[in-house]
C-alpha cells in the first residue's frame, strides 16, 4: 500500500486524524522551498529537523490572537457581537478557536482565559458550570494537547474556578500556565500547585523574566513558548546538537566549523520558510484574523530551536563516567553554557526583515523533543536516569534559562504525598525563579495526566493506544513514543 492508503486504513486513527494526515501527505508532495545541498544533507542526517511542518508552509506554525480585542469588539467575519454574559463569552471563544490555525490545524493559544472570563462572573455557581463545560468542550474538540491557555498573574474568581474545574475534570487539554509574579497571592499560587499535582497543570512561568524579555505582556503557547500577543511564530526548526557533536573531530572542530556551518544553513532554511509563508502562501493577505486586527504580520518572529545539549557535551568530552557528564561536572556544565552562548550570539546577529518585533532576529528555543528521539534529551535538560539532587538540578537549569525567551523548561514529578505540603513545593518554585529559571513544571507521581515533554497526555490513553485502540487526542501517539523512546515514566521522583 502507498502512504495515502495506509493512512486511510489505519485503525488507530480517528476520522479527524486521518484528514489531517492526508492533508499533510498532500502538502509534502510539493517541492517549493529552495534548500541548499548542504542544508539538505544536514536535514537527511538529522542535524536539522523542521518538526514535520511540511514542504509548503501555508500558515504560520504558531498563531497568538489578541483575544482581548475579540471580546471587546466581536467579529464581523464570524458575525459575533461582543459577549454580554458568561454563556456568550464561552460560546464566542469556542467559535473563534475553530478558526485559529496552526501547524497542528488547531489553536496552540486560547488566551489568558481567566482574564477573558472574569468580567462575566456574576453568579459563581452558574459561572462554574459554564467554565467547566467550556473546558470540557475544548478537551473533546481541540484534540491536540499543544493547545495552551494562560492564567494570572493576578488572582481572579475565574482563575480559581478554572483550577477547581481542572481538578475535577482530569483532562489533558488545554495545557495551562500560571504567569507567576511576586504579586501573585500565595493562596492562589498554592491552589495552582494543588491542581498541578493532580493534573500536571498549570506550569509556572516566571512573569518578571518574560515581561522583561517581551517588553510587557506576552503569551505562553504550545509547550512553553513565549510569544508576542497579536503575533506568533512563522516557524520552528531545531538543531540536534548530539548528532552535530558526533560529526565533529574535536571540541575545536565543533566550535570553529561544525556549529557555525550548521547554524548558517539552518538560519537560511528558516529564512526560506518565512519567505514562502509571507510572500507566497497568501495567508497574511486573506485571513480574517489579519483583517480584523486580531493578529498582525509584524508581530511574528521565528524560533531557532535546539535539543540534545547534554549528549552534545558528553560526546565532545568523551565523558563515560557519570561524574564527568553534563549536570554532574562543572567542566561539562561550562562547556554547555559555551555552546548556548555561541548559538545565542549567532541568532542575535542573523537578521530577517520579516521579524521586526524581535529586531530582525529569531528567538532561541529549547525544543522539548519528539517521539522519534532516541537517547537524546530535550533542550538543555539533564537526561532522565541521570538526574541530580533537586537544588543542584535547579541551579544547573538556571544556567541556561536566560538565553531562551521563546521557551525552555524543566519537569519535576513529586511524590504523591506532597499534596500535604503545598508550601514546600511553592518555596522550591520561588527559589528556582530567584536562581533565574523562567519555567517550572510539576505533577504527582500517581496522577493519570502527566507531562510528557512540554505537552500533557493521560497514562490511561497511552495504554489504550498501545493496545491498538484509537485515542481522541492525536498527541497520545506522541506520548506513547516518548514513553517507549524517551523513558519519561522513569523521571526521578522528588
> What's the pLDDT tens digit per position in 407-417?
999 999 999 88
**Residue keyed to cell 545541498:** 37
pLDDT digits (tens, 9 = 90+) for 219-231: 999 999 999 999 9
C-alpha Rg value of the chain to the nearest Å = 22
Map grid coordinates 510587557 to a residue: 216
Q: Where are the alpha helices (DSSP H) in 200-329?
A: 207-213, 241-246, 251-253, 259-279, 283-286, 288-291, 309-317
Q: Which residues of 211-235 are buried (b: 16+ CB within 10 A; e: fewer)?
A: bebbeeebbbbbbbbbbbbbbbbbb
Residues written for the chain: 494
pLDDT in tens, the chain (494 residues): 699 999 999 988 889 889 999 999 999 999 999 999 999 999 999 999 999 999 999 999 999 999 999 999 999 999 999 999 999 999 999 999 999 999 989 999 999 999 999 999 999 999 999 999 999 999 999 988 899 999 999 999 999 999 999 999 999 999 999 999 999 999 999 999 999 999 999 999 999 999 999 999 999 999 999 999 999 999 999 999 999 999 999 999 999 999 999 999 999 999 999 999 999 999 999 999 999 999 999 999 999 999 999 999 999 999 999 999 999 999 999 999 999 999 999 999 999 999 999 999 999 999 998 878 889 999 999 999 999 999 999 999 999 999 999 999 999 999 988 888 999 999 999 999 999 999 999 999 888 887 877 788 888 888 877 888 877 766 677 677 766 776 777 788 89
State the pLDDT at residue 448: 86
- Burial grade of 377 (CB within 10 A; 0-12, 13-18, 19 or more): buried
Instruction: Return the closest-CA partner of residue 273 out of 21, 39, 38.
Output: 39
* Cα 267 from Cα 279, distance rounded (Å): 18
Tell me how far apart the 2 most distant CA atoms of the chain are, in Å: 67
Alpha-carbon span 213 to 290, nearest angstrom: 25
pLDDT at site 5: 94
Write phi, then psi, for 62 (nearest 5 degrees).
-125, 130
Query: In degrees rounded to 5, what are phi and psi of residue 183?
Result: -95, -5
Cα–Cα distance measured from residue 175 to residue 286, given in angstroms and rounded to the nearest whole number: 29
The pLDDT tens digits of the residues spanning 447-486 come to: 888 787 778 888 888 887 788 887 776 667 767 776 677 6
pLDDT value of position 486: 66
Which residue blocks in 416-494 are alpha helix, DSSP H? 422-435, 459-466, 475-486
Q: What angle do CA 403, 397, 172 make, to 5 degrees?
A: 95
- Phi and psi torsions of 363, nearest 5°: -110, 135
pLDDT at 199: 94
Q: Which pLDDT score, from 0 to 100, does residue 242 have?
A: 98
By the 10 Å C-beta count (0-12 exposed, 13-18 middle, 19+ buried), 389 is classed as exposed
Extents of the domains making up the chain: 1-30, 35-60+237-385, 62-224+409-493
pTM of the shown model? 0.94
Amino acid at each position: 500500500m502507498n502512504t495515502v492508503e495506509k493512512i486511510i486504513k489505519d485503525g488507530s486513527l480517528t476520522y479527524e486524524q486521518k484528514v489531517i494526515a492526508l492533508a499533510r501527505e498532500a502538502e509534502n508532495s510539493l517541492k517549493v522551498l529552495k534548500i541548499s545541498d548542504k542544508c539538505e544533507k544536514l536535514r537527511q542526517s538529522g542535524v536539522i529537523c523542521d518538526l514535520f511542518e511540511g514542504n509548503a508552509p501555508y500558515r504560520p506554525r504558531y498563531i497568538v490572537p489578541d483575544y482581548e480585542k475579540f471580546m471587546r469588539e466581536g467579529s464581523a467575519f464570524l458575525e459575533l457581537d461582543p459577549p454580554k454574559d458568561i454563556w456568550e463569552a464561552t460560546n464566542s471563544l469556542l467559535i473563534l478557536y475553530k478558526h485559529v490555525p496552526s501547524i497542528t490545524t488547531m489553536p496552540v493559544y486560547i488566551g489568558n482565559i481567566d482574564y477573558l472570563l472574569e468580567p462575566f462572573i456574576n453568579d459563581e455557581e452558574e459561572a462554574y458550570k459554564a467554565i467547566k463545560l467550556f473546558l470540557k468542550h475544548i478537551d473533546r474538540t481541540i484534540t491536540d494537547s499543544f493547545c495552551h491557555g494562560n492564567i494570572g498573574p493576578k488572582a481572579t474568581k475565574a482563575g480559581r474556578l478554572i483550577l477547581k474545574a481542572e481538578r475535577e475534570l482530569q483532562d489533558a487539554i488545554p495545557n495551562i500556565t500560571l504567569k507567576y509574579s511576586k504579586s501573585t497571592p500565595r493562596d492562589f499560587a498554592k491552589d495552582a500547585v494543588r491542581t498541578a499535582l493532580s493534573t500536571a497543570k498549570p506550569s509556572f512561568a516566571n512573569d518578571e523574566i518574560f515581561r522583561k524579555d517581551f517588553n510587557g505582556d506576552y503569551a505562553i503557547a504550545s509547550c512553553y513558548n513565549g510569544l508576542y500577543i497579536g503575533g506568533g511564530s512563522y516557524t520552528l526548526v531545531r538543531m540536534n546538537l548530539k548528532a552535530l557533536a558526533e560529526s565533529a573531530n574535536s571540541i575545536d572542530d565543533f566550535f570553529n566549523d561544525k556549529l557555525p556551518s550548521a547554524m548558517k544553513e539552518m538560519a537560511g532554511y528558516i529564512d526560506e520558510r518565512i519567505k514562502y509563508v509571507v510572500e507566497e502562501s497568501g495567508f497574511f493577505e486573506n485571513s480574517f484574523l489579519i483583517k480584523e486586527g486580531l493578529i498582525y504580520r509584524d508581530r511574528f518572529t521565528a524560533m531557532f530551536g535546539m535539543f540534545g545539549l547534554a549528549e552534545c557535551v558528553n560526546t565532545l568530552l568523551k565523558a563515560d563516567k557519570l561524574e564527568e557528564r553534563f549536570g554532574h561536572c562543572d567542566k561539562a556544565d561550562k562547556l554547555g553554557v559555551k555552546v548556548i552562548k555561541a548559538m545565542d550570539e549567532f541568532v542575535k546577529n542573523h537578521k530577517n526583515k520579516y521579524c521586526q518585533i524581535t529586531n530582525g532576529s529569531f528567538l532561541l528555543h529549547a525544543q522539548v523533543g519528539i517521539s522519534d528521539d532516541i537517547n537524546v534529551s530535550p533542550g538543555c535538560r539533564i537526561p532522565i536516569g541521570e538526574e541530580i539532587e533537586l537544588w543542584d538540578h535547579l541551579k544547573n537549569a538556571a544556567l541556561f534559562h536566560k538565553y531562551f525567551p521563546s521557551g525552555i523548561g524543566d519537569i519535576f514529578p513529586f511524590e504523591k504525598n506532597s499534596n500535604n505540603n503545598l508550601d514546600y513545593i511553592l518555596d522550591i518554585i520561588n527559589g528556582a525563579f530567584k536562581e533565574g529559571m523562567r519555567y517550572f513544571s510539576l505533577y504527582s507521581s500517581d496522577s493519570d495526566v502527566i507531562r510528557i515533554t512540554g505537552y500533557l497526555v493521560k497514562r490511561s490513553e497511552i495504554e489504550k493506544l498501545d493496545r491498538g485502540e484509537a485515542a481522541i487526542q492525536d498527541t497520545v501517539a506522541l506520548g506513547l513514543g516518548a514513553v517507549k523512546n524517551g523513558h519519561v515514566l522513569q523521571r526521578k521522583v522528588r
